[in-house]
Amino acid sequence: MRVGRLIRANQSPKQTRIENRVTHDHNRDDHDEHHRPVQDHWRENGVKVIAGNSLDPNTAQTPGMNRATAISKARAGAEKIWAGTVTIHANAKTGAHHHGDLESIIYVVKGKARMRWGEKLQYTAEAGPGDFIYVPPFVPHQEINASRDETLECVVVRSGQEPVVVNLDIEPVEKPEEIRWIDPIHRE
C-alpha cells in the first residue's frame, strides 16, 4: 500500500484540496497468503473494449427502433450502468414507452431526433448531432426521426442493468405527422 494525493480538478487553485488516500500500489507484484505472486488483477478486471460491430441486438425492444447492447454485466462486467445504440429509420417513430426507475442519457451521433414526452406526449424538443438528451425515470416518451431521408443514430446510457422497457398504449394529444416546409419561391 501507499499513500497518494487526490487533487480535485473542478476547483479553482484557491479551492483545490489535496486529500491523502491510501491505495494499493498496482505497479508491484502482490502475493497471496503463501507468498506466491498473483496474476495481474487488472488484466481481467480492467478496461474492456467492445467493438462497434459486435453489439448484441438481443435486448428489450420498442416498435420503431432497433436497440443493441454494448455494455452490460454479461458483456463487460458493468455493475451499475447499461449502454448501447439505438437506430431509428428515416421518417419513423417509436411507440410510446418509459424505462421504469432508470435514468437515460441519449447522445445523438447522426441525424435529427424529435422527442415527445408527457402523459399524452404533449411536449416536444429536438436534438441534433453532438446533443445530449436526458430522460428521467418513469417519463412516458417517444423518439421520432425528424429526417425524411437520414437514419437517426444514437448512443444510450442507462443507470441500471435491467433492460427495462415499458411499452405504453397511450393516445398522443396530437398525432405526430410529417410536415413539409416549402419556401415561398418553390411552391408546388
pLDDT digits (tens, 9 = 90+) for 65-93: 888 999 999 899 999 999 999 999 998 88
Write down all domains in the chain, each with its CATH number in brackets. 2-45 (no CATH), 52-167 (2.60.120.10)
pLDDT at 185: 60
Residue 139: Cβ-neighbour burial (10 angstroms; 0-12, 13-18, 19+): middle
Based on DSSP, count helices (H) and strands (E) in the chain, helices before strands.
2, 12
pLDDT at 187: 55
- How large is the average pLDDT for residues 168-182? 59
Q: Give dist(CA 123, CA 64) in Å, integer.
A: 20
pLDDT digits (tens, 9 = 90+) for 90-137: 988 888 999 999 999 999 999 999 999 999 898 999 999 999 999 999
pLDDT over 90, % of the chain:
45
Name residue 78's amino acid: A
- Whether residue 51 is predicted with pLDDT greater than 70 in this model: the reply is yes
pLDDT at 44: 81
Q: Report CA 58 to chain centroid distance, whole Å.
A: 17
Strand partners of residue 19: 6
Confidence of residue 18 (pLDDT cuts 50, 70, 90): very low
Q: Please enumerate, as own/partner, the contacts of 57-62 that have beta carbons within 8 Å and a separation of 24 or more.
A: 59/84, 59/163, 60/163, 60/164, 60/165, 61/165, 62/94, 62/95, 62/97, 62/165, 62/167
pLDDT at 59: 86
Asked if 158 contacts 81 with a C-beta cutoff of 8 angstroms, the reply is yes
Cell of 107: 447522445
Q: Give dist(CA 165, CA 17) in Å, integer.
A: 42
Q: Give dist(CA 157, CA 102) in Å, integer.
A: 10
